[in-house]
Amino acid sequence: MKNTVVTFINSKKNGQKLSMLTAYDYTMAKIIDGTEINGILVGDSLGMVTLGYDSTLAVTVEDMIHHGRAVVRGVKNTLVTVDMPFMSYHNTLAEAIDNAGRIIKQTQAHAVKVEGGREILDKVKGLIKAQIPVMGHLGLTPQSLNIMGGFKVQGKSEEAAKKIIEDAKLLEEAGVFAIVLECIPEKLADLVSKSISIPTIGIGSGAGCDGQILVYQDMLNMDEDFKPKFVKTFADAGAVIKDGIKKYVDQVRDGEFPAVEHTFTMKEEVLEKLY
């Protein structure tokens, strides 16, 4: 295993920026693992980009295990973290440990990720005490969508900004190995990153973070109807896929595919006996 929890922590100490992407299936995980990526997140964003929900709230532990298992099968070098979905760690500590334990045991992933700060601190401490590595997540936490009133930038007021800084420190003290900072102002993310010794992984939070994460469908422009401000298109895979499918449809319709080189043959003497 090339990238581990220790690698993540040491990367910040060595001043090396970390890169992460989401993945939800074997094929994409294998492609991503073949690069120099530092981490893969099996995000509960799969509810939206893979299952077609309008939020992450409907995603279940079983969904995360199913997709997490597929991703891990495609990975040899990359740290794999799996999201704990909505209501899988919010009630009792025993329930949180049971769900996280199932995720780790059944997927063979290396860590879990949870959303929130001081309000889930007892769960974070319990998971780490149970020898389960934990990644934190502050700022825009999609599982709190209904409380936040939608997908909005967080930490813009003094009070909200102070809470994010304090929560980051509390999570570090509790033992998380990294914290995702989602959709907070760049200067606030920079302050948070400088106030803790563990890596911050930004998404929509500027270049001051110790690393970055994106949903792979977003950065490959696979959904032309969804383009958040913080996403850059690194390759127009959506257009390439569409073009490839169109060529396939055209050639099947016109009888160009399959050609001789795409078909199997049999001996003439065998064929003659069938007539």
* pLDDT value for 148: 74
* pLDDT value for 163: 98
Measure the CA–CA gap between 234 and 240, rounded to whole angstroms: 13
Measure the CA–CA gap between 162 and 103, rounded to whole angstroms: 33
pLDDT mean over 116-128: 98
With H, G, I as helix, E, B as strand and everything else as coil, classify residue 152. Answer: coil
Q: Are 164 and 188 in contact (CB under 8 A)?
A: yes
pLDDT mean over 117-142: 97
Quickly list DSSP for 181-193: EES--HHHHHHHH
| pLDDT digit string, tens, across residues 168-179 | 999 999 999 999
- Exactly one of 166, 182, 256, 272 is catalytic; which is it? 182
Of the pLDDT bands very low, low, confident and very high (cuts 50, 70, 90), residue 273 is confident
Q: Are 239 and 48 in contact (CB under 8 A)?
A: no
With H, G, I as helix, E, B as strand and everything else as coil, classify residue 172. Answer: helix
Measured CA to CA in angstroms, residue 271 lies from 258, 264, 268 at distances of 20, 13, 5
Of the pLDDT bands very low, low, confident and very high (cuts 50, 70, 90), residue 275 is confident
* pLDDT value for 226: 85
* pLDDT value for 227: 85
Measure the CA–CA gap between 220 and 23, rounded to whole angstroms: 13
Residue 158 annotated as catalytic: no
Measure the CA–CA gap between 204 and 186, rounded to whole angstroms: 8
DSSP β-bridge partners for residue 134: 112
| pLDDT digit string, tens, across residues 133-161 | 999 999 999 998 787 777 789 999 999 99
Measure the CA–CA gap between 244 and 8, rounded to whole angstroms: 38
- Dihedral, CA atoms, 213, 54, 42, 108, nearest 10 degrees? 160
In the predicted structure, residue 224 carries a pLDDT above the cut 80? yes
| pLDDT digit string, tens, across residues 38-53 | 999 999 999 999 999 9
With H, G, I as helix, E, B as strand and everything else as coil, classify residue 194. Answer: helix
pLDDT mean over 75-91: 97
